[in-house]
Structure 1
Amino acid sequence: KTTLECVVSCVGDLDAELSGVAGMVRQAGMKLSAIAVSPSVDRQSTPPGSAWPECPPLEDIYSAARRAFPDIRLGGGMFSYFTELNRKRVPADLLDFVTHCTCPIVHAADDLCVMQSLEALPFITASTRAIFGPTPYRIGPSTIAMRQNPYGGATKANLQGQRIAMADRDPRHAGQFGAAWTIGYAARVAPAGLEMLTLCSFTGPFGVLAASGEPVGEDEPRPIFQAVQGLCQLAGFRHVAARTSDETRVLTLAARSASGKTVMWLANLTAREVTVDISGFERRHLVMTPYAITRIG
């Protein structure tokens, strides 16, 4: 399934702009299952107390999108973060789904803070559910690096691969850290019953395939590939509530198939070796190396 993110300039006639987008989609031969639209001005954050920028009513934008794309699902929300969605709450009754992203390096970029950012996710999803109720809910693309900066003119270039806030690429995405963060992310948002979760792209700094100069060969799978592949294999499974005794060190994600098969993923969120008691499974103890991920079942 393919969803197009469409940033609408809202300069001039909305029907003309969005029908033009529909024409380009047809010309490219794209087969869309959904489109998510957002006005261009909402790519930048509007802090509390500030004047909102000029923008047509969202109702008008969504109506024009429906006319241009009458046969596919329509989504809206923010292509940035929940903070912005909370400040400008979209009329969800006009949408087939709401969407937003997150980023763990807005304020700090050290290893501990990035992993600790996962602890905020259940509160974000609970707030979104409280605001929009049962409306189908999507998150992503959410990655460690920042793909777009709503709080400034641009993301920070990071060609040296440092751990810096608001960077356009992050070295941990290419390592085992990124795999653990990905499983941890899915574990934290699973109780919200998301319709879709996107945590990477195929290639590039947000991708599952390596670039040149990385520990694995160019175009070979990064460690995050295993995590994403494992999550894809859980599509359609029913979430099963599960937790560890110390979720600051190890997070778990469990799901059950229609046939009754239970699968569990574990992620070591720390830079230290952790021993996990898994009595009741095929082994009594599991020793997890730093940032390791493990499938059971």
Structure 2
Amino acid sequence: MAIREPDPDEAARIREVVDSSMTTSFRLSPEQIDAVADEQFADDAVADALEDETTVLRVAETGEDIEEATITGVVEGRLAGDWGEVNWLFVDPEHRGQGIGTELYDAANEALRDEDAEYVCVTVLEANTEGHGFVERLGLEHDGDRRVDIAEESFVKYVYTDPDVDATLPNESTTEDADEESFPETESTDGNLTTTDDGETVYVARDEAESGTAASFYVTYEDADLTEQYGFYCANCGSLDISMDNMDRLECGDCGNTHAERSGESYDESYL
């Protein structure tokens, strides 16, 4: 295995790895995957990353010999003040189980520190069902949530840091705290956050949230005392059309925002 900086003309292969990895490991629609991959890893985006002095882009190349070598993983990180952020890490599903993810993380970590990053954090999309377990196996801990706009959609990212680090996380101008989200289609009624469903007032409990791939879901009630549960509210679009299956998976019928509990059983060790 070789870890190296890619050439601009390898963007197409990088995009293939990103597509296949996201399709396997991300709880996103095909349209969302295409939009994220287009914005973050299209030809121009790869070329810009390679020219940007604050960005680290590395690929893993595996093969028996030079002629058979192919890109099987990619990692992207950026400098943000004293921090280095590992924002994207993908491993081709067909080549997992070879330690590629760990090698890529180590390479990005080292490169960011070589660029004077004092600390390094990792951000993982809420929808990346396997990535969270991978990062936790590296010894990092969930240290906050961040809302980011990618391809004109809002997503939640979990931020992971070394538990021994005591420093303020970077807060780029393109992000905001995931807890500070807006509540579309709502109004304040006697100090309560409310919305309506066929003319009926529904009360939104702002302190009872479930994470979602695009925005949080909030428990709703029929009464201001929040005793009779009504259902759920989607903070991405303001809809009350939320379904729940027998695995407690939530899905918005209007915008496709979803939530599913993460567990150790969903972690695939081959990602390492």
Structure richer in helix, relative to its length: 1
Structure richer in strand, relative to its length: 2
Q: What is the TM-score normalised by the length of structure 1? A: 0.27
Structure having greater relative contact order (Cα 8 Å, sep ≥ 6): 2
